[in-house]
Amino acid sequence: MLSNKTIVLGITGSIAAYKGADLASKLTQTGARVEVIMTESAMKFITPLTFRSLTGRPVVTSMWDLASEFSVQHVALAEVADVVVVAPATANTIAKLAGGIADDMLSCTVLATKAPVIVAPAMNVNMFENSITQDNLAKLIARGFTIVGPEYGRLASGKMGRGRFVELEKILGTISQVLGRGGDLAGKRIVVTAGGTREAIDPVRFIGNRSSGKMGYAMAEAARDRGAKVTLVTAPTALPEPVGIEVVYITSAVQMKEAVTKATVQCDALIMAAAVADYQPKSAASGKIKKAVAGPELSLELVRTPDVLSEVKGNFLRVGFAAETSENLIEHARKDELERKQLDLVAANDISAPDSGFDVDTNRVTLIDKQGNMQELPLMTKREVADKILDRVVELLGKKSPREMTVEELYDNCKERLKALGVRLRGSNIGGFYGYYKKKYTLRVTQMEDALGNQYCTIDVRKADDSWMGEKKITDEQTLGKVINNYIKPRIVELEKQH
């Protein structure tokens, strides 16, 4: 997702500046081109040489450095950036950005860029909780900035409080999510399941399996990075909670069915990557079963668990996994999974292979659709497998009749699509929100309802002089796409030509 992207990384004068070096390294390892800007205060904590060594790129430290390729045209970085990340961001820098002050290379770049801006605050708890800082952050959020953190923890002062620099995984996840806006799954709602369910024998013991949840989590993150709104229904795992994804935690198969039934209302696709137990004890003991009481043998009466994928109903795409050790893997996947459960796509994999079984980072699957088409994939990372599956999901969704969308979904999709075009959202009006594009156009999106109770949205475009340019009615995802492509984009292109 980040490969070949240009990420401008702003480092400011915080004790957490050294963590910015780790962030720069991790971004570079993804294949991104990382352009680092350091403020004068940042260089008191860490040297530019560190970042140059990690990124292989010169570091910008001043607008007046004639040796820098970006110094003369001081907005050059702003124009090439796919995303600007200020991490760590001090209270001073946040105040500058909120006030539109442009007195150094970093603040100039943020003010001039049309790329999305992510800010990761790090400061003393009292500075963070100060009403001035909170007001400044609120201004940035209203302008479309994404704020990540800070977290609660031990600070440099030795005190405990909120002000600690957020974990790098959350910043990396946020960058991927922001860059995914406008992707080929933008406006889609995807439900993914992950992990292995646990069926209680007593309060201590359970029937489970060896699923690590890695495939399901990779699916959820890949869908998020392509613009989808993702709900992850997960059984217990040792994996960190993914960023930008609604996570629903469950334990048993019954709980998973309940959570999936609720989550799939108005969803576009359900991807069942979880390893759901086939059987559960008919009744679980209320207390721990004692060996002295149970004796040398313990017999359990087992009953079938719900078959989540076949029992949950709805007008959405269904993708399943067939994890088997059988030589008849493909035949089983086709008959027992694809046909019996009426799936649109199944991913079959042999879990007995050491490089594609449970608790490893790679997988080797064969994709089979209900027309009988097969695609055998080589050994890949689970994230790469996830993207291959989503390629097919995008293809299948394109052939599927669109479902009806709620007005709330249309409203949210309008927001995301306009953000992706560079519109800065500034505030809300009655029943909607408004935003600006280069202070030349004002765009208002409003939720409406006609006399018959039919709900829809409208986009109202006005020029800077408040002269009305027209209003467009949006009733579904298709009309939203037409309005964006045929009405909004041409005006933005026209404005770009004027500049």
Give the active site residues: 209
- Paired residues of 10 in beta bridges: 37, 86
Measured from the Cβ of residue 58, the count of other Cβ atoms closer than 10 Å reads 16
Helix (H, G, I), strand (E, B) or coil at 15: coil
Helix axis angle for 91-99 and 105-112, nearest 10°, is 40
Those residues with Cβ within 8 angstroms of residue 81's Cβ, 6 or more apart along the chain or in another chain: 6, 7, 8, 35, 109, 113, 115
DSSP per residue, 141-187 = HHTT-EE---EEEE-TTS-EEEEEPPPHHHHHHHHHHHHTTTSTTTT
Cα distance between residue 38 and residue 311, in whole Å: 56
| Share in percent of the chain as helix, strand, coil (round to 5) | 35, 25, 40
Instruction: Count CA atoms within 13 Å of residue 273 on its CB side.
Output: 32
Q: Which of 459, 407, 455 is nearest to 429 (CA)?
A: 459
HEC profile of 432-477: EEEEEECCCEEEEEEEEECCCCCEEEEEEEEECCCCEEEEEEECCH
How many angstroms separate the Cα of 124 from the Cα of each of 31, 152, 163, 225?
34, 11, 6, 32
Residue at token pair 């399943």: 320
